[in-house]
Structure 1
């Protein structure tokens, strides 16, 4: 049998589905629009917003570092305690947030379609004997 006799045309890619890092960036920047926030406050905000689903500490720190290095946020130390970092959004961060605000609704819709399809696919294996 020849390969790709009936190829299916790809209309979208997984790269256009919302990514975890985009969700975190969006949540951080939206929270910072209310003023400066501490690292732990933003982490709690995300966990509360998503009904107990939070972000791995190391991953969250890496995202904050990436936002800082991209110039989207500033960070400052509060006193001598290295854990008391607070963040502020920059003009660049506002532009990045506006870009995400334009793109995210369609990405979220796409992600819902993908996950619904995946959920249906998983159900095919639900009654499978795994012994």
Structure 2
């Protein structure tokens, strides 16, 4: 089987925020706690988010734009420029929280379940409902859905004599609260057969159900696929946790 490309590094942008949105949110959240000066804000940014180097100049540019739009003010105190959040800025922060927090929270529950299955530790909340449809495209953007489905398929095939993809779809819903289309599942199963990870046979001449078995090649690549999925999922977990932390208004200093 051809080697898989290494997955893209996880940054705040890959968990659903543009660079501008993220820096705006970070600045407003920081200033909601206390006024601060640019260098200290940038240092906090570097300490909390290590996945990408964020430009100090660009941070200042966003801060100055927020000052120009009335969301923050710039005051000189003891010879140093300090940014202060305004009421308008607090309203914008509330808007960011109401738009991003519910989506990230629901997606993180699904991510946590996959991480628990992949690593054997961490949070696992029983599934009470599936991930809302409006969040599924976001989920697919921040993780490798392909790796997760291949992992679950190969893991299931490793402990059963044979499986069919309808079972995998049911398992994804019951255990993780996430739904993949039947078309995607069957296309991926076909690809795994072509790559020699699985071998299959039709239940009957009607070709309505195809039973799949794990091959030696599939068993060989199973750990590699699981490790790749675990690495990506844990990185996404980390960033979602950080973003959710400062989306939480209870973290503000009263």
Which whole-Å CA distance do the structure 2 matches of 1:119 and 1:77 have between them? 46
Q: For the Cα contact (< 8 Å) 2:166–2:182, is it kept in 1?
A: no
TM score, norm. by length of structure 2 = 0.39
Largest Rg, 1 or 2: 2
Q: How many residues align?
A: 111
Q: 2:170 aligns with which of 44, 47, 69?
A: 44
> Quick one: higher RCO (CA 8 Å, sep 6+), 1 or 2?
1
Q: CA deviation at 1:41?
A: 1.7
Aligned to 1:63: 188
Q: Which SS does the other structure have where 2:207 is aligned? A: coil
Structure 2 residues not aligned, in runs of 5+:
1-45, 53-141, 248-254
Which whole-Å CA distance do the structure 1 matches of 2:206 and 2:243 have between them? 45
Q: 2:158 aligns with which of 27, 33, 40?
A: 33
Aligned to 1:129: none
Structure 1 residues not aligned, in runs of 5+:
1-7, 124-131
Distance 1:101 1:39, change over 3 A: closer
Distance 1:116 1:76, change over 3 A: same
TM score, norm. by length of structure 1 = 0.70
Q: For the Cα contact (< 8 Å) 2:147–2:228, is it kept in 1?
A: no
The structure with the largest helix share of the pair is 2
Q: 1:98 aligns with which of 214, 223, 231?
A: 223
